[in-house]
Amino acid sequence: MSFLKKLFGIGAAAPKEAPTEAYNGYIIRATPYAEAGQYQMCGEIEREINGVTMQHRFVRADRFAAEAEAVQFTFAKARLIIDLNGDRIFS
């Protein structure tokens, strides 16, 4: 029965909602993922420009023992990217 549950997703937990933060007109989404027993820094920066939703995804080499710590540092890195580059990240 366990095999069938895995195969068909029966009883599987719903995907977890990525934490988000609004910053200077941008939406930051922290999406760290498990890698080698730690959490890899990964996130998305989103902004609507002229009615079009633009998105920039970034992955950094930083790894953290706890997912919450990875989320915290992802937000900090995204704010820095926005401050240094602004809308140029979408070009």
Q: Predicted confidence band at 91 (pLDDT cuts at 50, 70, 90)?
A: confident
Distance CA 50, CA 52 (A): 6
Distance CA 91, CA 80 (A): 17
Residue 17 is predicted with a pLDDT of: 85
List, in sequence order, every beta strand (DSSP E) within 1-91: 20-23, 26-30, 33-35, 38-49, 52-64
Write down the CATH number for the domain with range 17-90.
3.30.160.350
Tokens standing for residue 54: 């633009």
Domain positions in the chain are 17-90
Residue 11 is predicted with a pLDDT of: 56
Question: Would you call 26 exposed, middle or buried from its count of C-beta atoms within 10 A (0-12, 13-18, 19+)?
Answer: buried
The tens digit of pLDDT for each residue in 33-84 reads 999 999 999 999 999 999 999 999 999 999 999 999 999 999 999 999 999 9
